[in-house]
Amino acid sequence: MSEAATPETFGFQAEVRQLLHLMVHSLYSDREIFLRELISNASDAADRLRFEALANAELVGDDELAIDIAIDRDAGTLTVADNGIGMSRDDIIEQLGTIAHSGTERYLESLTGDQQKDAQLIGQFGVGFYSAFIVAEEVEVASRRADLPAEDGVLWRSDGQGEYSLRQIEKTDRGTTVRLKLKSDANEFLQEVRIRSLIRKYSDHISFPVRMRASAAGDGEDDDETADEQTVNRAKALWTRPRTEVGDDEYIEFYRHIAHDFSDPLTWSHNRVEGKREYTSLLYVPSVAPFDLWNRESPKGVKLYVQRVFITDRATEFLPLYLRFVRGIVDCGDLSLNVSREMIQQDPAVGAMKSALTKRVLDLLGKLSNDDAAKYATFWEQFGTTLKEGLAEDPANRDKIAGLLRYNTTKSDGVAPDRSLGDYLGDAPDDQASIYYLLADSPLAARSSPHLEAFRERGIEVLLLSDRIDEWAMQYLDEYNGKSFRDIGRGELDLPGDDAAESIEAGDDKERKHLVKRIKRALRERVEEVRVSTRLKESAACLVLNEHDLGYQMRELLKASGQEAPAALPNLEINPSHPLIVKLAAENDDDRFETLSAVILDQAALAEGRQLDDPAAFVKRINDLLIETGSS
Ligand code: ADP
């Protein structure tokens, strides 16, 4: 290559600057990963060239696609060169100067300052190319896109401090050469043995040969490049090898390559399907959710290959949206190589593969839950909410998904969701008609809710649901193993062995009826109805929704999406044997009766962890009552 034009200087996007700074200062223990990242990029570039060559065979010519690593001890440089797709000037500005992920800024703000934790987080973010600056004081990238002439090469150079320079160069070979001028404390990466072992450790599964010249001298560009170059890695696509021959560490490295995630996956499934449709899939369940899992535009989908030729990174047609956390590859034997997005979408074979892969993932999760409770708990913590979306999205697999759900319940040890519906039914008496659940804003608020009192007394387990999508998701879960679901915060309760309720009604208690009417009058339009409760044992009162009213979570969801939720008033249920209600019944002064009733209503809301519409009015009423008590 020869340098032509004068260089121009550009500033890195602020997020890149921040990321570079964090990386250089937090990733000091795993510095070697930079090599994996660079080789991974080179391999992606070769994949992309091969894909473009499907339409334009001239792009590749006769060259073997390969990655060459060279060490120059005298100059203190390490070079990773590929003959892949390459980058144009615009590509390079966009790819090596900015970060495209939306939400990056917010993500970076969330970093903790704890180096070890941040290193993990940065890993998930996929630092890729920028990791070169962990070991290099200067990085030079010479690149030329495969479809551009030799004089349209670009040379990018930076010390990672906030700026980079660009100039046009002549580059005879297509592809990208990344040259690192190593920091003085990174000289270990000038040792050939060390580099070879790193290539074997991290890049064995790369489908292209990763080559190194045999002699340790290996400096200068005038050497006969092919003379004694050796392929260091296995250079065979990992998924094409038989399962029994692939070690766990190889699966894990491959995961890191495709998922750009430093952490280990929780589990994976590698399968070859033969017969009418031939395809291989290798699907992983990550152990950490990407920071943008909930962002609609965030990248998702599996890597698609057709007969080992890379087609796309983001094939979303092979798994449903609720399994978007799954990473992996699908290699189809019998799709056309010239597949377009439309063709993938319309191909009936793809639909059948999607059902099969969905089942495979659900079975894999089922197996994980049986084999390794701790890992499954991690899965649930990271992706449980996403999986719940499947209740709505995938009716055909609803039972399977229901079996994978985990809940915090009144029988749980702590607040972690550790009970399955199977556990619930296994412990419930056979004649219990329903699976009971309570919706609340947090596990703690659920746990202390007055609604649970009658259930505790009867020893009936209640699922405590506080995920923001629980109310929505439960609409799609009608039954499990023949038992229906029942929200205990709604409607009239009909509990087994509910003699208490009968005795109240049979007692035809005129006084109680009168009290209920008086409270209703006092609270006027703040409640729909006041009634005597069968739910309460210790608390004075609680709020109950009507059977078909929108619940609190759905209201919040609607509000968040800018919609008005239809108005609905709660019902107030009272516990007539509670001293406060007894006191209320004996109150002759109408004003005091009204104040007390309002306080009881607000307390019922507070006890469930709800916000009051008018907290100041509540405080004033309480103060009035306290002062009166004090002065009487
Ligand atoms: P990622 O690989 O996760 O996208 P990187 O920071 O490693 O992130 O790289 C950013 C982009 O730069 C890549 O997506 C690719 O478009 C481009 N790039 C990096 N290295 C190469 C290379 N060797 N050949 C061609 N393009 C490259």
Distance 233 CA to ligand 1 centre (A): 21
Residue 313's CATH number: 3.30.230.80
pLDDT value of residue 103: 61
Domain residues for the domain of 342 are 243-401
- CA–CA gap between residue 194 and residue 447 (Å, rounded): 56
* Mutate which of 38, 48, 90, 129 for ligand 1 pocket (most atoms within 8 A of beta carbon): 129
Question: In this predicted model, what pLDDT tens digit does every residue of 225-265 receive, in sequence order?
Answer: 445 788 999 989 999 999 999 999 999 999 988 988 888 99
Widest distance between CA atoms in the chain: 106
Domain count, the chain: 3
Residue whose CA is closest, atom 13 of ligand 1?
95
Is there a single domain that holds both residue 615 and residue 595? yes
CA angle 188, 191, 194 (to 5 degrees): 80
Q: Is the CB of 129 under 6 A from ligand 1?
A: yes
Higher pLDDT, 378 or 508: 378
pLDDT value of residue 222: 47
* Mutate which of 95, 131, 158, 178 for ligand 1 pocket (most atoms within 8 A of beta carbon): 95
Residue 217's CATH number: 3.30.565.10
Q: Is the CB of 128 under 6 A from ligand 1?
A: yes
pLDDT value of residue 472: 93
Using DSSP bridges, classify how beta strands 479-480 and 483-487 pair: parallel, antiparallel or unpaired. Answer: antiparallel
**In the 8-state DSSP scheme, what is residue 299?**
-
Whether the CB-CB separation of 325 and 389 falls below 8 Å is answered with no
pLDDT value of residue 240: 94
- Look at residue 429 and give its three-state secondary structure: coil
Is there a single domain that holds both residue 426 and residue 550? yes
CA-derived radius of gyration, the chain: 32
Give the residue from 236, 258, 277 where a domain finishes.
236
Is there a single domain that holds both residue 392 and residue 416? no
Question: In this predicted model, what pLDDT tens digit does every residue of 48-76 receive, in sequence order?
Answer: 999 899 888 888 888 899 999 999 999 99
Residue whose CA is closest, atom 18 of ligand 1?
41
Residues in Cβ contact with 301 at an 8 Å cutoff, skipping those fewer than 6 apart: 312, 313, 314, 315, 316, 317, 318, 319, 324
Distance 475 CA to ligand 1 centre (A): 44
- CA–CA gap between residue 244 and residue 149 (Å, rounded): 46
Distance 52 CA to ligand 1 centre (A): 16
**In the 8-state DSSP scheme, what is residue 540?**
S
Is there a single domain that holds both residue 104 and residue 67? yes
Structure tokens at 124: 């998930």
Give yes or no for residue 585 having a pLDDT over 70.
yes
Residue 618's CATH number: 3.40.50.11260
pLDDT value of residue 100: 65
Q: How confident is the model at residue 219 (pLDDT cuts 50, 70, 90)?
A: very low
Is there a single domain that holds both residue 431 and residue 373? no
The winner for highest mean pLDDT among 52-56, 174-178, 447-451 is 174-178
Whether the CB-CB separation of 386 and 292 falls below 8 Å is answered with no
Place of tokens 């001890």: 73
Residue whose CA is closest, atom 12 of ligand 1?
95
Is there a single domain that holds both residue 291 and residue 386? yes
pLDDT value of residue 66: 96
pLDDT value of residue 220: 46
The winner for highest mean pLDDT among 20-34, 252-266, 284-298 is 252-266
With CA atoms as reference, report the closest residue to 224 among 213, 235, 232: 213
pLDDT value of residue 566: 78
Region 323-328 average pLDDT:
95
* Mutate which of 19, 35, 37, 44 for ligand 1 pocket (most atoms within 8 A of beta carbon): 44
Give yes or no for residue 114 having a pLDDT over 60.
yes
Is there a single domain that holds both residue 22 and residue 162? yes
pLDDT value of residue 16: 85
Q: Is the CB of 41 under 6 A from ligand 1?
A: yes
Give the residue from 209, 236, 263 where a domain finishes.
236
Q: How confident is the model at residue 402 (pLDDT cuts 50, 70, 90)?
A: very high
Whether the CB-CB separation of 305 and 280 falls below 8 Å is answered with no
Higher pLDDT, 521 or 415: 521
Give yes or no for residue 413 having a pLDDT over 90.
no
Structure tokens at 549: 């009213």
Mean pLDDT value across the chain: 88
pLDDT value of residue 216: 45
Residue whose CA is closest, atom 1 of ligand 1?
128
Region 357-378 average pLDDT:
97
Q: How confident is the model at residue 443 (pLDDT cuts 50, 70, 90)?
A: confident
Which is it for the CA torsion 503, 505, 506, 511, positive or negative? positive
Nearest 5°: phi and psi at 559? Answer: -60, -45
Is there a single domain that holds both residue 389 and residue 426? no
Give yes or no for residue 548 having a pLDDT over 80.
yes
Nearest 5°: phi and psi at 141? Answer: -120, 115
Question: In this predicted model, what pLDDT tens digit does every residue of 76-98 receive, in sequence order?
Answer: 999 999 999 999 999 999 889 88
Distance 95 CA to ligand 1 centre (A): 6
Helix (H) or strand (E) holding 434: strand 434-439
Is there a single domain that holds both residue 420 and residue 517? yes
Q: Tally the C-alpha atoms within 13 A of residue 464's C-alpha that lie toward its C-beta.
A: 27
C-alpha 439: how far from chain center:
23
- CA–CA gap between residue 192 and residue 377 (Å, rounded): 43
Place of tokens 């107030």: 572
Q: Is the CB of 85 under 6 A from ligand 1?
A: yes
Q: Is the CB of 541 under 6 A from ligand 1?
A: no
Distance 259 CA to ligand 1 centre (A): 14
Give the residue from 386, 401, 416 where a domain finishes.
401
pLDDT value of residue 218: 44
Atom of ligand 1 nearest to the CA of 260: 3
Whether the CB-CB separation of 135 and 189 falls below 8 Å is answered with yes
